[in-house]
Structure 1
Amino acid sequence: MRNTRPYDPLAKKAQQNSTTESDAIRQRPKKIKSSKGVAGKECIHESAIKHVLGSAIYTDDMPELPRTLHMAAGGSRFSRAKILSMNLEPVLASPGVVAVFTKDDVPGNSDIGPVFPGDPLFAENETLFVGQPLFVVAAETYEQACAAAELADIEYQELTPDITVEQGIKNQSFVLPEHTIESGDPDHAIKTSARSLTGSGYIRGQEHLYLEGHIAYVQPLEDGGVHVFTSSQHPTEVQKLVAEVLNIGSHKVIAEVRRMGGGFGGKETQAAALACSAALAAVKLNRPIKYRMPRKHDMERTGKRHDFSYEYSVGFNEDGIFNGIDMTLAGLCGCSPDLSQGIVDRAMFHADNAYFLNQSRVVGLSPKTHTVSNTAFRGFGGPQGMVAIEAVIDDISRELNIDPLTVRKRNLYRPGANTTHYSQPVEQLVLQDIIAEVENSSDYWARREAIKTFNTENTYVKKGLALTPVKFGISFTAQHLNQAAALVHIYTDGTILVNHGGTEMGQGLHTKIAQIVANEFCVDIDRVQVSATRTDKVANTSPTAASSGTDLNGYAAKLACDEIRTNLIAFAVEHFSVEKESVRFEDSCVFVGEESYTFAKFCQLAYMNRISLMAHGHYKTPKIYYDRASGKGHPFFYFANGAACAEVLVDCLTGEYKVQRVDILHDVGHSINPALDIGQIEGAFIQGMGWLTTEELLWDEKGRVLSNTPATYKIPTAFDVPREFNVSLYQSANPENTVFNSKAVGEPPLMLAISVWSALRDACSSVANYQCSPPLDPPATPEKVLAAIEYARAFQSNHS
């Protein structure tokens, strides 16, 4: 059973006016019936029909130009080794091969690190991870390129690698310096607390496994530049790095993204390597180059969500309320910094989740390993910090024999205790209300008692229940990225073209932008077209990440519309000699006093009177800053909130389990498109559930990725979706001045899946009558669940 409904804490009548997502998908965009326009309405995704029909054009679907060559890379066999010699003659002699390129062929900068150096385009003297590109080959066909790349004769001297977080820390090998956020005197607070605990855990990473793998198609231009079609969340970074590799100006590089078949953070930085390699060959050979990674290479050679280890010492009172906590978070960064500084920082920022930590110390470590450089993934470190603190809450509740939900509620941010450990006030205290609603809608307490009875009466099958909150900060933690721009053109037939800096990866960003623009002019959304993201249309863009795509680009588009509308109103006032107040846009028309004109006719009239019908809008997020030296600041514009209640059924003989029911209430502010937001919540939750349950990312002792195909890496399927899946929107306006007072929805719902992991721990704990908190490191595979059950049985036996 699946239920979706909006929830308005001020007026629940909104429920009566809602439609389900499936209804929205069946509908074509509705005609505008009022001056409110389409913002806030359930509009179909702009490419939904094309997705279903298979007619949506991705990079690999583009018609290939004549003389197009295909590219593949030859990768290192070892995670850490000196390259003694490299004979590429067998590669060159392979059928169909046109050329081979190495580091010696790069005319410009060969380090493509996105923030800090450390990511050479090709391995130089020593390899950094298994599969690191040593060279690329261009051949007439994809198959010929892939076959030739395996033929190189390379001599190595193998060295001892660091593969694990523990090895990196032990050897004092780090990609970035240690960072600490401290508030008060946590050591004294813990020492003087009535109760205290210590604990640790390990959270494995996650493979992005986007449907469309990494790819770039590069066409040489007549002026020595290149046109790069890329599956990237950050076209500007691709443009910049291609220009640096080729040693040309950025103005000679066009990076274009129409759509991606999924990104999830995996295409924020790591798409650039393919684009740079293909661009190098395209310029050298003056031929178009397509570089598409085989799926196995994609899974072996691109970064993942960071593994994290955590250790904590916590002091609390007899009610389970925090007095002080000392926590260390260490992220497995891989061989280079990539985006690890921001990721470890965000894990530290979210080590509180929704709770007032009181006096605290959070330390972030960035150990270096000889594995692929890990990168952004939906939540950007936040999920790992939140798993750690939820583990602490569960451990405290078992220590005190208090229901975990009670301990969670007692520690929530509240009046008088609403300042984070990095000194940002939590101004919108809505989680109490959200949790109360989920308690009620999920019938938490009655089910809790029924589950206790069930578990008492059943030896081989146990149920678990957990209700967990989410408080997630919205903004890039790098301040300069919190800006965006958009171009809006109105043509004389009244149609509108929009170009902005955000990229579409299935999340519906272009749809929301179209709704915003249609809303501003009160026209039918069919009149609005959002074109492919291109660096020659809107320059210096930020990545589409940090859940800020609509916040940033939507507001930029709105500002451009504001400028055009202001000009049109001023024209009407002067041309028709009327008061400003008598000019209004409504129902695809412009009303001027007692007269009305179709929007198209009015735009034609404005053009004939030489009024500009285009504008550029630029938006920058206010209020945000962070001082790393002091560990204090206001790094987030606002927080998105939510809560989820999950129930699981566990087989105690095998460790297998099923998620039976999930109830979600998520805070999206005033939703621009409820159907898209609900889809994002559902998708994020299932992706988070996969990370915490079935998706086991493993390396061997040599640094080779073992989970390198969909056969050995298990993402959730339709059969894993909860049997009863209830999703509601908490539609309370964002108090901050965001576009239409909406809130970001891309990343925050992923952390709602922590409820499933906590429910599994709850089921395992029931084996020991809830007297212990069995270790259950994510992902909670059936094998780990069975081990946690055995731990609980042993505990029960020793304490009976």
Structure 2
Amino acid sequence: MRHFKTDKPTGQKGNAIGQSFIHESAIKQVIGKAVYVDDKAEEVNSLHAYPVVSTIAHGKILSIDTAPAFAVQGVVDIFSTKDIPGTNDIGPVFSGDILLTDEVIEYHGQPILLVVATSYKAARIAARKVVIEYQTSTPMLDIKQAIKEQHWVRPPHALNRGDAKQAIENAAHKIAGDLYIGGQEHFYLEGQVSIATPTEEGGMFIQCSSQHPSEVQHLVAKVLKQPFNYVTVEMRRMGGGFGGKETQAAPWTCLAALAAFHTGKTVKIRLARSDDFKSTGKRHPFYNTYQVGFDQQGLIEGVDININGYCGYSPDLSDAIVDRALFHADNAYYYPNAHINGNRCKTNTVSHTAFRGFGGPQGMIMAEQLVDDIAYYLKKDPLEIRKLNLYKPGRDLTPYKQKVDQFILKDMIAQMEEEGDYWARKKAIAAFNKTSPIIKKGLSLTPVKFGISFTVQHLNQAGALLVIYSDGSVHVNHGGTEMGQGLNTKIAQIVAQAFSIDMEHILVNATRTDKVPNTSPTAASSGTDLNGMAALNAANTIKDRLFEFASQHFDVSLEQMQLIDNQLVHEKGRISFSELINLAYLNRISLSTTGYYATPEIYYDREKAEGHPFFYYAYGLALSEVEIDILTGENTVTRTDILHDVGSSINPALDVGQIEGAFIQGMGWLTTEDLSWNDQGALASNAPATYKIPAIGDTPAEFNVTLYNSQNPATTVFKSKAVGEPPFMLGISVWSAIRNALASITDYQFAPSLNPPATPETVLNAVQAAQEWNKAAAQKTTTEKSHA
């Protein structure tokens, strides 16, 4: 059973906000008419490109023989670093991300050459026939070794408040723990794909599947040694991104553009799924440790947390990702004394990158682990410890010195305790576990407090272009990208609300760098916050022009003028919106404008390690119940209840869809999705046959989602809140519930460590650890009795 509830009004005629409009591409997608980059008809004489990649993880290139590749029918040319007219370093923030290498190999699957042929098949076959001789070196694959040798891609950074060491030392109780946290493959349905077409003025027109068209524009221009205005990037829709197309789309687009530049023809590049797996970055794996001191009630007095990101060979976005992990190592809990350090570890793997949550999940899970561990140590229910340590007035300053100003989690937990029947179910589960020798049940309620904004300040800006044609139809371009999340639908609702016109009159079209320049990536859950506000500002600019014109034309006052239900209403009468627009056109009133928005109030002083990096926080709760089989290690989620804060929802159905999808993806990260590299640094889990994402059978048998009735205290577009990333971390409730089931083996006195993903093998290891704890406890009791 799956259902959702919302206390929000579903809207009324003339009111687009708060209504569950269907996703603008839903019908096209269902019937197969939604056009993606790979669906576009190929131009006559267009070419295909495919990369030649390394087959070792670390070493040097000694020789390259391309003759076998040139012998393949259809091969046109093969390009290397010497063919790059501009830069070969396409690092998005810091240098170090290499387009093609000609000497040093840093990871298995690193691009070396680019084969161009008349067909996709010929290019791919030829790429495999290039013979490369290497001098191999021992790759750095162990994160502990990287930490020991201080092998960083960027320097460490730490948050400090109070004296954490002394607070832990003075605490009545202290415990420590560690956690290896697995990475995650993006597994977007549409792989990396780009088409580059030379233009007559010597520039390049790019069609690609990217979350960051402006970055692609800039990097293509730099690689080709051209000004930015010579490159135009268009992106209509993606078949999923999840962060995997924020920076990772750029290399393949740059390679397609390089080939198009030299051949003078359109060039397409599309990675096969297995090569997409091998040569693109993942969610960062982490190795984290903690020490925590607390009192007899479980109130936290001090924490010392070390966050270690497994970054791969280059910086990519790792600096900001580890920062966000630091910022979320508190989750929803107040740490009066804290030292939270973040290391960016360099290893010989593909450079890991953005993924939904952007480091937040890897930090947040540490807060949930230490809270659970405190509860089992004190023989208390974990929910008691969670409620005790929540942020509240007077205990409201984060480790990075941002003040928390909304305390809705207390009420949300109370609502979930009642609606989810937490305490009665907990009691029933404990009774079940006492009489069930094989199947053990677990229950956990975990909260989320997630900061909304890019942690890099200048990215918190957006633009929009709004055009009204003389028949009253509206065309909108904005800087965000549509990857299935419904951004374009929400933008259309925002513009429809501003003009009080029906949605059918609005078309939101492809993202293009020649329509809206200098865009930020669609990431950090900020797509609607930024681009929606930019579109609203553009609409209000034209609305003001229309009102001023109508006031003069009809000789009426501005104060009593309103746009209502496709009409302009004033004190002398009314006129339809389309008639108003045509009248304004005939009277030479400008009907196009740009809108711009920059998020206010945010900053972060890195030297002081303090600031206000987030405009606001989004909150949520998940209550998950699981079953584990202690003989096989299999686990099943039997029920999940979610209560999530989206502010005043713009589109409840889309928001619920995001919540459901994010939760399942988070659950997959923590239970089934097992990235594995062999001892030579090659990705072993490189296909759907060896990498398991959650299927429909893995979803909770009972899955309930409720939108929490609130308004965003921050000035956001129609008081809504971001919903893309925060629900992802609700999946932590499943991992925590599995630990709760494991703890039942020891009568809830000890919960063994559970390194995610909690695959059957991992769960079995934890079962064994719990059973060994029981043996040790029994032996201790026997020894104590004999001494007595």
Q: Map residues 666-685 of structure 1 onto 2, 5 A cutoff.
A: 666-685=644-663
What residue identity is the alignment partner of 2:471? D
1:203 corresponds to which residue? 181
Contact 2:556 2:572 in 1 (8 A): no
1:762 corresponds to which residue? 740
2:674 corresponds to which residue? 696
SS of 2:727 mapped into structure 1: helix
How big is the shift at 1:123?
1.1
SS of 2:581 mapped into structure 1: helix
1:719 is matched with which residue: 697, 712, 717?
A: 697
What residue identity is the alignment partner of 2:4? T
What residue identity is the alignment partner of 1:2? R
Contact 1:71 1:136 in 2 (8 A): yes
How big is the shift at 1:95?
1.1
Contact 1:671 1:731 in 2 (8 A): no
How big is the shift at 1:92?
1.8
1:466 is matched with which residue: 429, 440, 444?
A: 444
Q: Map residues 400-419 of structure 1 onto 2, 5 A cutoff.
A: 400-419=378-397
Deviations 1:570-625 (A, max 9, x none): 00111111111232111111113232111111100011111111111100000000
What residue identity is the alignment partner of 2:729? M
2:13 is matched with which residue: 12, 21, 33?
A: 33
1:559 corresponds to which residue? 537
1:231 corresponds to which residue? 209
1:261 is matched with which residue: 239, 244, 257?
A: 239
SS of 1:399 mapped into structure 2: helix
TM-score by length of 1: 0.97
Deviations 1:278-324 (A, max 9, x none): 00110110100000000000000000000001111110000111100
TM superposition outliers: structure 1 runs of 4+ over 2 Å: none
SS of 2:155 mapped into structure 1: coil
Matched, 1:445 2:423: yes
Q: What is the RMSD of the two structures over their aligned residues, measured on CA atoms?
A: 0.9
Deviations 1:149-206 (A, max 9, x none): 0111211100011012112112321100010100000011000000000111110100
Matched, 1:3 2:10: no
1:107 corresponds to which residue? 85
Deviations 1:48-105 (A, max 9, x none): 0011001100000011111111111110011101111112122122111001100000
How big is the shift at 1:357?
1.0
Paired with 2:148 and 2:121, the residues of 1 have a C-alpha distance of: 43
How big is the shift at 1:521?
0.4
Q: Map residues 74-85 of structure 1 onto 2, 5 A cutoff.
A: 74-85=52-63
Paired with 1:127 and 1:336, the residues of 2 have a C-alpha distance of: 12
Q: Which moved further from structure 2: 119-128 or 489-498? A: 119-128
What residue identity is the alignment partner of 1:369? T
Deviations 1:430-452 (A, max 9, x none): 11011111111110000000000
Paired with 1:54 and 1:404, the residues of 2 have a C-alpha distance of: 47
1:344 corresponds to which residue? 322
* % identical equivalent positions: 54
What residue identity is the alignment partner of 1:301? S
Q: Map residues 41-190 of structure 1 onto 2, 5 A cutoff.
A: 41-190=19-168
How big is the shift at 1:332?
0.3
Paired with 1:191 and 1:171, the residues of 2 have a C-alpha distance of: 28
1:506 is matched with which residue: 473, 484, 489?
A: 484
1:481 corresponds to which residue? 459
SS of 2:396 mapped into structure 1: coil
2:254 corresponds to which residue? 276
SS of 1:665 mapped into structure 2: strand
1:635 corresponds to which residue? 613
Q: Map residues 241-252 of structure 1 onto 2, 5 A cutoff.
A: 241-252=219-230
What residue identity is the alignment partner of 1:452? A
SS of 1:715 mapped into structure 2: coil
Paired with 2:144 and 2:65, the residues of 1 have a C-alpha distance of: 36
Contact 2:80 2:102 in 1 (8 A): no
1:27 corresponds to which residue? none
Matched, 1:433 2:411: yes
Q: Map residues 8-23 of structure 1 onto 2, 5 A cutoff.
A: 14=8
1:326 is matched with which residue: 299, 304, 317?
A: 304
Contact 1:164 1:332 in 2 (8 A): no
Paired with 2:676 and 2:605, the residues of 1 have a C-alpha distance of: 36
TM-score by length of 2: 0.98
1:21 corresponds to which residue? none
Contact 1:258 1:533 in 2 (8 A): yes
Paired with 1:419 and 1:182, the residues of 2 have a C-alpha distance of: 12
Contact 1:69 1:287 in 2 (8 A): yes
SS of 2:529 mapped into structure 1: helix
Paired with 2:103 and 2:581, the residues of 1 have a C-alpha distance of: 62
2:637 corresponds to which residue? 659
List alignment gaps of at least 5 residues for structure 1.
8-13, 19-29
What residue identity is the alignment partner of 1:194? A
Paired with 2:142 and 2:240, the residues of 1 have a C-alpha distance of: 29
Paired with 1:583 and 1:199, the residues of 2 have a C-alpha distance of: 64
Paired with 1:796 and 1:90, the residues of 2 have a C-alpha distance of: 63
Q: Which moved further from structure 2: 779-788 or 634-643? A: 779-788
1:582 corresponds to which residue? 560
1:536 corresponds to which residue? 514
SS of 1:112 mapped into structure 2: coil
What residue identity is the alignment partner of 2:560? S
What residue identity is the alignment partner of 2:287? S
2:571 corresponds to which residue? 593
2:782 corresponds to which residue? none
How big is the shift at 1:124?
2.7
Paired with 1:171 and 1:424, the residues of 2 have a C-alpha distance of: 33
List alignment gaps of at least 5 residues for structure 2.
779-788
How big is the shift at 1:674?
0.2
SS of 2:259 mapped into structure 1: helix
Contact 2:357 2:728 in 1 (8 A): yes
Paired with 2:346 and 2:285, the residues of 1 have a C-alpha distance of: 12
SS of 1:366 mapped into structure 2: strand
Paired with 2:723 and 2:501, the residues of 1 have a C-alpha distance of: 26
